[in-house]
Copies of this chain bind each other. A is one copy, B any other.
Amino acid sequence: MSRVWNFSAGPAALPEEVLKQAAEEMLDWQGAGMGVMEMSHRGKEFTSIAEAAEADLRELMAVPDNYRILFMQGGAIAENAIIPMNLLGQHDSADYVVTGAWSAKSLKEARRYCKAHVAASAEAGGFTSVPAMTEWSLSDDPAYLFTCTNETIGGVEYPFEPDLAAIGRAEVPVVADVSSHILSRAMDVSKYGLLFGGAQKNIGPAGLTIVIVREDLLGRSVPACPTAFDYKTVADNGSMYNTPPTYGIYIAGLVFQWLKRQGGVAAIEAQNIAKAKLLYDYLDASDFYASKVDPACRSRMNVPFFLADESLNEVFLAESKAAGLVQLKGHKSVGGMRASIYNAMPLAGVQALVDFMRDFAARKG
């Protein structure tokens, strides 16, 4: 078996330790005589798995007691509808900060449910930066303000945490799509009303959605909200109103344990800073490659880059793949290349990429 360096934007590489444990336990979880996939979600074995996963996530992110952690289905795209259906309550509008493809998609979906107001947009600059909070223009009475704090496609990450108290609008709950940088850096959960993300980038398998929601925001759903996606129903039933994606929760739990063994979020953040610095420093020093994102807003997780001579794109992809570096093709809407370097990507993988890029540039430059 030879493992590649997998730069996929998601589903993405997982820690080998996690995969090895999952393989070993596939037919018999800790003497239960059955694998996790075969367990009743209401049995004591799986209940212990789900409770440990939730407790570990709560510890890792220092989630305050007045927030509920929900294990759901549908991914971030489904949440684009589920969020307004849950949070609108008596409001008829919500505010959106648009910083790239994902928040633009969230805005579009919200317009099916309410008046969605653009509080700020980075579109004029080609989605390469994040508008400062002082430029945000909130509407009078929005149900919430929506942000996507790391844009997976554009490679733009907030260099600050949204904090509406700082602009005198503390009463508006901040919603954040953190799919592609959850657990990669410290986040002050208390600054948000709701954090959510698909698991398939920094946590585990596709099909699991994490929602962290402040308790006072439960119970505001509109009549059209499906019961299975009503946050209050999900919370009241410990994420077991409908059968949850049990195996995904199990894998997520193994990832949380792995992350704790690495030293938790602070330690992995230091590692992520080092990984991103290695790659961006090389991009900045090279005339052969370029990053187009405002340096202050460059994502530590998703690094789009471009060859100065784009006619070399195909050979770059072919040769990098032959060298064991895969999934480097940029998103079709952006072009070029993209290296996603989530928590499970070690520094050695980024070093291998930079080494390849340097060698490629020397040969083709």
Residues in chain B near residue A245, CB distance under 8 A: 73, 205-207, 245, 248
Query: Is there an interface contact between B3 and A28, defined as CB atoms closer than 8 Å?
Result: yes
| A20 contacts partner chain B, Cβ-Cβ < 8 Å | yes
Query: Is there an interface contact between B200 and A243, defined as CB atoms closer than 8 Å?
Result: yes
**Which of A29-37, A270-278, A354-362 lies on the face that meets chain B?**
A29-37
Minimum CB–CB distance for A196 against chain B, Å: 13
**Which of A9-17, A136-144, A308-316 lies on the face that meets chain B?**
A9-17
Query: Is there an interface contact between B8 and A43, defined as CB atoms closer than 8 Å?
Result: yes
Q: A33-B324, A34-B13 are in contact. Are A206 and B77 (CB under 8 A)?
A: no
Please, which residue of chain B has its CB at the minimum distance from the CB of A13? B38
Residues in chain B near residue A224, CB distance under 8 A: 85, 112-113, 224
Q: How many copies does the complex hold?
A: 2
Per the bound structure, the CA–CA distance linking A132 and B206 in Å amounts to 42
A residues 217-248 near B (Cβ < 8 Å) are 223-224, 226-229, 241-248
Minimum CB–CB distance for A44 against chain B, Å: 11
Minimum CB–CB distance for A22 against chain B, Å: 6
Per the bound structure, the CA–CA distance linking A8 and B4 in Å amounts to 38
| A162 contacts partner chain B, Cβ-Cβ < 8 Å | no
Query: Is there an interface contact between A33 and B11, defined as CB atoms closer than 8 Å?
Result: no
A residues 317-345 near B (Cβ < 8 Å) are 324, 326-327
Residues in chain B near residue A159, CB distance under 8 A: none
* 21 CB-based A-B contacts, threshold 8 Å: A1-B27, A3-B27, A3-B33, A11-B38, A14-B37, A22-B26, A23-B27, A26-B26, A33-B324, A33-B326, A37-B206, A41-B206, A73-B245, A78-B226, A78-B229, A78-B242, A81-B229, A85-B226, A112-B224, A206-B243, A207-B247
Q: Could you say which of B27, B81, B229 contacts A19, with CB atoms under 8 Å apart?
A: B27
Per the bound structure, the CA–CA distance linking A153 and B3 in Å amounts to 45
Minimum CB–CB distance for A103 against chain B, Å: 15
Query: Is there an interface contact between B81 and A228, defined as CB atoms closer than 8 Å?
Result: yes
